[in-house]
Amino acid sequence: MSTQTLLEVRDLSKRFASRESRDAALWVIKDLSFSVPDGEFLTIIGPSGSGKTTLLNMIAQIDTATGGEVRFKSEPPAPISDPKLLNPGLSCRIGYVTQEDNLLPWRTTLQNVLFPLTVQGRLNDETRARAQTLIRTVGLAGFENHYPHELSGGMRKRASLIRTLVYDPPVILMDEPFGALDAQTRAVLQEDLLRLWELGRKTIVFVTHDIAEAIALGDRTLVLSRAPAKVIGEHRISIPRPRDIRGIMSHPDFSALYQRIRAQVQ
Protein backbone atom coordinates (compact mmCIF):
# COMPACT_ATOMS: atom_id res chain seq x y z
CA MET A 1 0.00 0.00 0.00
CA SER A 2 1.39 3.36 -0.95
CA THR A 3 1.39 6.08 1.66
CA GLN A 4 0.72 9.01 -0.65
CA THR A 5 -2.07 11.19 0.69
CA LEU A 6 -5.01 11.03 -1.68
CA LEU A 7 -7.56 13.13 0.16
CA GLU A 8 -6.90 15.79 2.71
CA VAL A 9 -9.51 17.61 4.76
CA ARG A 10 -8.24 20.65 6.62
CA ASP A 11 -10.11 22.81 9.15
CA LEU A 12 -13.40 22.05 7.50
CA SER A 13 -16.30 23.92 9.13
CA LYS A 14 -19.99 24.16 8.51
CA ARG A 15 -22.49 26.48 10.08
CA PHE A 16 -26.21 26.49 9.48
CA ALA A 17 -27.82 29.89 9.89
CA SER A 18 -30.08 29.83 12.90
CA ARG A 19 -33.70 30.86 12.62
CA GLU A 20 -33.64 33.08 15.70
CA SER A 21 -30.53 35.16 15.26
CA ARG A 22 -27.18 35.22 13.57
CA ASP A 23 -25.26 35.00 16.83
CA ALA A 24 -26.85 31.71 17.76
CA ALA A 25 -25.89 30.20 14.40
CA LEU A 26 -25.23 26.53 14.78
CA TRP A 27 -21.82 25.09 14.02
CA VAL A 28 -22.31 21.52 12.90
CA ILE A 29 -18.67 20.94 12.11
CA LYS A 30 -15.78 23.02 13.36
CA ASP A 31 -12.13 22.83 12.25
CA LEU A 32 -12.30 19.20 11.28
CA SER A 33 -9.09 17.80 9.77
CA PHE A 34 -7.92 14.40 8.61
CA SER A 35 -6.18 12.85 5.65
CA VAL A 36 -6.63 9.61 3.80
CA PRO A 37 -3.73 7.79 2.17
CA ASP A 38 -4.22 6.10 -1.19
CA GLY A 39 -5.89 2.72 -0.87
CA GLU A 40 -6.99 3.09 2.74
CA PHE A 41 -10.34 1.97 4.06
CA LEU A 42 -11.11 4.71 6.56
CA THR A 43 -14.14 4.41 8.81
CA ILE A 44 -15.55 7.42 10.62
CA ILE A 45 -17.75 6.93 13.61
CA GLY A 46 -19.81 9.48 15.46
CA PRO A 47 -23.03 9.88 17.37
CA SER A 48 -26.11 10.57 15.28
CA GLY A 49 -26.52 14.26 14.59
CA SER A 50 -22.77 14.81 14.58
CA GLY A 51 -22.76 16.08 11.01
CA LYS A 52 -21.39 12.94 9.37
CA THR A 53 -23.62 13.29 6.32
CA THR A 54 -22.84 17.00 6.10
CA LEU A 55 -19.14 16.16 6.16
CA LEU A 56 -19.45 13.74 3.24
CA ASN A 57 -21.73 16.13 1.34
CA MET A 58 -19.03 18.79 1.59
CA ILE A 59 -16.29 16.42 0.45
CA ALA A 60 -18.48 15.28 -2.47
CA GLN A 61 -19.17 18.98 -3.14
CA ILE A 62 -22.93 18.80 -3.17
CA ASP A 63 -22.97 21.11 -0.16
CA THR A 64 -20.90 24.21 0.56
CA ALA A 65 -18.49 24.57 3.45
CA THR A 66 -18.40 27.63 5.69
CA GLY A 67 -14.66 27.36 5.98
CA GLY A 68 -11.68 25.09 5.45
CA GLU A 69 -10.53 23.12 2.46
CA VAL A 70 -10.54 19.73 0.80
CA ARG A 71 -7.55 18.71 -1.28
CA PHE A 72 -7.32 15.89 -3.77
CA LYS A 73 -3.74 14.62 -4.26
CA SER A 74 -1.51 17.67 -4.69
CA GLU A 75 -4.08 19.71 -6.57
CA PRO A 76 -4.95 23.16 -5.27
CA PRO A 77 -7.85 23.01 -2.79
CA ALA A 78 -11.31 23.06 -4.35
CA PRO A 79 -13.32 26.27 -3.86
CA ILE A 80 -16.00 24.63 -1.76
CA SER A 81 -17.38 27.75 -0.05
CA ASP A 82 -18.97 29.18 -3.18
CA PRO A 83 -22.15 27.39 -4.29
CA LYS A 84 -21.53 28.46 -7.90
CA LEU A 85 -18.07 26.92 -8.04
CA LEU A 86 -18.96 23.53 -6.56
CA ASN A 87 -17.85 20.60 -8.66
CA PRO A 88 -19.99 17.68 -7.47
CA GLY A 89 -18.04 14.45 -7.49
CA LEU A 90 -14.83 16.33 -8.36
CA SER A 91 -15.11 15.43 -12.06
CA CYS A 92 -16.10 11.81 -11.40
CA ARG A 93 -13.13 11.18 -9.10
CA ILE A 94 -15.11 11.09 -5.87
CA GLY A 95 -17.89 8.52 -5.81
CA TYR A 96 -20.64 8.78 -3.22
CA VAL A 97 -22.83 5.96 -1.93
CA THR A 98 -25.52 7.75 0.01
CA GLN A 99 -27.70 6.58 2.86
CA GLU A 100 -30.69 6.17 0.55
CA ASP A 101 -30.08 4.13 -2.56
CA ASN A 102 -31.22 7.00 -4.86
CA LEU A 103 -31.84 4.64 -7.75
CA LEU A 104 -33.77 6.21 -10.63
CA PRO A 105 -37.20 4.57 -10.36
CA TRP A 106 -37.84 4.65 -14.12
CA ARG A 107 -34.63 2.79 -14.92
CA THR A 108 -34.13 -0.94 -14.56
CA THR A 109 -31.36 -2.33 -12.37
CA LEU A 110 -28.97 -2.64 -15.30
CA GLN A 111 -29.84 0.82 -16.63
CA ASN A 112 -29.30 2.26 -13.16
CA VAL A 113 -25.91 0.61 -12.84
CA LEU A 114 -24.95 1.87 -16.30
CA PHE A 115 -26.23 5.39 -15.60
CA PRO A 116 -22.84 6.92 -14.62
CA LEU A 117 -21.14 5.36 -17.64
CA THR A 118 -23.95 6.58 -19.91
CA VAL A 119 -23.75 10.20 -18.74
CA GLN A 120 -19.95 10.12 -18.82
CA GLY A 121 -20.02 8.81 -22.39
CA ARG A 122 -17.97 5.79 -21.38
CA LEU A 123 -20.39 3.06 -22.32
CA ASN A 124 -18.60 0.45 -24.40
CA ASP A 125 -18.17 -3.32 -24.53
CA GLU A 126 -15.49 -3.27 -21.87
CA THR A 127 -17.38 -1.17 -19.33
CA ARG A 128 -20.57 -3.11 -20.05
CA ALA A 129 -18.75 -6.34 -19.30
CA ARG A 130 -17.46 -4.81 -16.09
CA ALA A 131 -20.99 -3.88 -15.08
CA GLN A 132 -22.16 -7.42 -15.78
CA THR A 133 -19.34 -8.84 -13.66
CA LEU A 134 -20.26 -6.55 -10.76
CA ILE A 135 -23.93 -7.47 -11.08
CA ARG A 136 -23.01 -11.14 -10.87
CA THR A 137 -20.58 -10.59 -7.99
CA VAL A 138 -23.22 -9.03 -5.77
CA GLY A 139 -25.89 -11.56 -6.72
CA LEU A 140 -28.12 -9.36 -8.84
CA ALA A 141 -27.92 -11.63 -11.89
CA GLY A 142 -31.45 -12.30 -13.13
CA PHE A 143 -32.70 -8.96 -11.80
CA GLU A 144 -31.13 -6.77 -14.51
CA ASN A 145 -34.49 -5.86 -15.99
CA HIS A 146 -36.34 -5.29 -12.73
CA TYR A 147 -37.31 -1.82 -11.64
CA PRO A 148 -36.07 -0.60 -8.23
CA HIS A 149 -39.49 -0.97 -6.62
CA GLU A 150 -39.43 -4.63 -7.54
CA LEU A 151 -36.21 -5.21 -5.60
CA SER A 152 -35.71 -5.80 -1.89
CA GLY A 153 -33.95 -3.21 0.27
CA GLY A 154 -30.72 -5.22 0.23
CA MET A 155 -30.79 -5.60 -3.54
CA ARG A 156 -31.36 -1.91 -4.05
CA LYS A 157 -28.41 -1.22 -1.78
CA ARG A 158 -26.24 -3.57 -3.82
CA ALA A 159 -27.34 -1.90 -7.03
CA SER A 160 -26.50 1.54 -5.67
CA LEU A 161 -23.13 0.27 -4.43
CA ILE A 162 -22.06 -1.14 -7.78
CA ARG A 163 -23.43 1.90 -9.60
CA THR A 164 -20.58 3.78 -7.94
CA LEU A 165 -18.01 1.00 -8.32
CA VAL A 166 -18.72 0.59 -12.03
CA TYR A 167 -17.06 3.87 -13.07
CA ASP A 168 -14.11 3.28 -10.76
CA PRO A 169 -13.63 6.62 -8.98
CA PRO A 170 -10.35 6.77 -6.99
CA VAL A 171 -12.18 7.83 -3.80
CA ILE A 172 -15.51 6.46 -2.65
CA LEU A 173 -17.52 8.05 0.16
CA MET A 174 -20.08 5.90 1.91
CA ASP A 175 -22.70 7.27 4.24
CA GLU A 176 -24.09 4.51 6.49
CA PRO A 177 -24.94 2.56 3.37
CA PHE A 178 -26.12 -0.47 5.33
CA GLY A 179 -27.89 1.44 8.08
CA ALA A 180 -31.45 0.56 7.20
CA LEU A 181 -30.89 -3.17 6.63
CA ASP A 182 -31.53 -6.15 8.86
CA ALA A 183 -28.52 -7.72 10.59
CA GLN A 184 -28.28 -10.71 8.25
CA THR A 185 -28.45 -8.72 4.98
CA ARG A 186 -26.07 -6.25 6.48
CA ALA A 187 -23.43 -8.87 7.22
CA VAL A 188 -23.72 -10.27 3.71
CA LEU A 189 -23.33 -6.82 2.19
CA GLN A 190 -20.36 -6.02 4.41
CA GLU A 191 -18.71 -9.20 3.15
CA ASP A 192 -19.54 -8.25 -0.43
CA LEU A 193 -18.08 -4.81 0.08
CA LEU A 194 -14.85 -6.15 1.58
CA ARG A 195 -14.48 -8.68 -1.23
CA LEU A 196 -14.97 -5.96 -3.86
CA TRP A 197 -12.57 -3.70 -2.03
CA GLU A 198 -9.87 -6.42 -1.84
CA LEU A 199 -10.08 -6.66 -5.65
CA GLY A 200 -9.50 -3.00 -6.36
CA ARG A 201 -8.21 -1.45 -3.10
CA LYS A 202 -9.99 1.83 -3.69
CA THR A 203 -9.74 4.59 -1.12
CA ILE A 204 -12.92 4.48 0.94
CA VAL A 205 -14.27 6.88 3.53
CA PHE A 206 -17.03 4.99 5.28
CA VAL A 207 -19.25 6.74 7.80
CA THR A 208 -21.24 4.75 10.35
CA HIS A 209 -22.60 4.95 13.86
CA ASP A 210 -22.01 1.24 14.46
CA ILE A 211 -18.72 0.61 16.28
CA ALA A 212 -18.55 -3.08 15.32
CA GLU A 213 -19.02 -2.17 11.65
CA ALA A 214 -16.32 0.49 11.85
CA ILE A 215 -13.87 -2.05 13.26
CA ALA A 216 -14.85 -4.90 10.96
CA LEU A 217 -14.39 -2.90 7.76
CA GLY A 218 -11.71 -0.30 8.38
CA ASP A 219 -7.93 0.01 8.34
CA ARG A 220 -8.33 2.98 10.61
CA THR A 221 -11.22 4.51 12.52
CA LEU A 222 -11.78 8.15 13.37
CA VAL A 223 -14.14 9.09 16.18
CA LEU A 224 -16.11 12.33 15.86
CA SER A 225 -17.46 14.35 18.77
CA ARG A 226 -20.98 15.63 19.11
CA ALA A 227 -21.73 18.83 17.19
CA PRO A 228 -19.69 20.84 16.49
CA ALA A 229 -17.92 17.77 15.17
CA LYS A 230 -14.17 17.35 15.55
CA VAL A 231 -11.90 14.33 15.39
CA ILE A 232 -11.48 13.20 18.99
CA GLY A 233 -9.97 9.78 18.48
CA GLU A 234 -7.98 7.76 15.98
CA HIS A 235 -7.61 3.99 16.09
CA ARG A 236 -5.60 1.77 13.80
CA ILE A 237 -7.39 -1.53 13.20
CA SER A 238 -4.67 -4.13 13.01
CA ILE A 239 -6.92 -7.13 12.53
CA PRO A 240 -5.38 -8.88 9.47
CA ARG A 241 -7.22 -9.21 6.17
CA PRO A 242 -9.03 -11.00 4.70
CA ARG A 243 -11.36 -10.67 7.66
CA ASP A 244 -14.14 -12.90 8.77
CA ILE A 245 -16.98 -10.42 9.29
CA ARG A 246 -19.26 -12.76 11.21
CA GLY A 247 -16.47 -13.95 13.46
CA ILE A 248 -14.92 -10.52 13.93
CA MET A 249 -16.17 -10.20 17.49
CA SER A 250 -14.25 -13.24 18.61
CA HIS A 251 -10.96 -11.86 17.33
CA PRO A 252 -8.63 -11.23 20.32
CA ASP A 253 -8.07 -7.54 19.41
CA PHE A 254 -11.73 -6.75 18.90
CA SER A 255 -12.89 -6.37 22.45
CA ALA A 256 -10.15 -3.94 23.51
CA LEU A 257 -10.68 -1.81 20.38
CA TYR A 258 -14.38 -1.79 20.93
CA GLN A 259 -14.00 -0.66 24.54
CA ARG A 260 -11.55 2.10 23.60
CA ILE A 261 -13.81 3.46 20.85
CA ARG A 262 -16.92 3.04 22.97
CA ALA A 263 -15.38 5.23 25.65
CA GLN A 264 -14.88 8.04 23.12
CA VAL A 265 -18.25 7.93 21.40
CA GLN A 266 -20.51 9.97 23.61
Partner 1 sequence: MTTQDTALDLAESAHLRWRQYAVLGGRIGLAILFFIVWKIGAERAGPIYVADPVLVFQRIVTDTMSGELVRHVYVTLRLSIIGFAIGCFFGVVLPFVLRRMPRVTAAIEPYIMASVGVPKYALVPLFILWFGIDDAPKLWLIGLLVFYPVFIAVFAGIRNVDRRLVNMARVVGASESRISREVIWNSLLSFFFASLKIALPRAVSAAIIGEFLVGNEGLGYMIEYARQNFDTVGVFAGIVVATVIVLIINAALVRIDRHINAWRPVERDMQL
The residues of the shown chain that bind partner 1, judged by CB under 8 A, are: 60, 62, 88-89, 91-92, 94-96, 98, 100, 102, 104-107, 115-116, 119-120, 147, 149, 163-164, 167
CB atoms within 10 A of CB 76: 8
* Beta carbon nearer to partner 1, 46 or 148: 148
Shortest spacing between CB 57 and partner 1, in angstroms = 8
Rounded to a whole number of angstroms, the minimum distance from the CB of residue 111 to partner 1 is 10
| φ/ψ bin of 176: left (φ > 0), alpha (ψ from -120 to 50), beta (otherwise) | left
Task: Pick the closer one to partner 1 by CB: 75 or 106.
Answer: 106
Cβ proximity to partner 1, 98 vs 190, nearer residue: 98
Minimum distance from CB of 11 to partner 1 (Å)? 24
Pick between residue 9 and residue 60 the one whose CB is nearest to partner 1.
Answer: 60
The sign one gets for the Cα dihedral 45, 73, 60, 23 is positive
Phi and psi at residue 48, in whole multiples of 5°?
-65, 145
Yes or no: say if 40 and 65 are a contact pair by the CB < 8 Å rule: no
Q: What are the angstrom distances between the C-alpha of 136 and each of 141, 173, 239, 244, 247?
A: 5, 23, 29, 22, 25
Give 89 or 177: the residue with its C-beta nearer to partner 1: 89
CB-CB contact of 58 with 94 (8 Å):
no
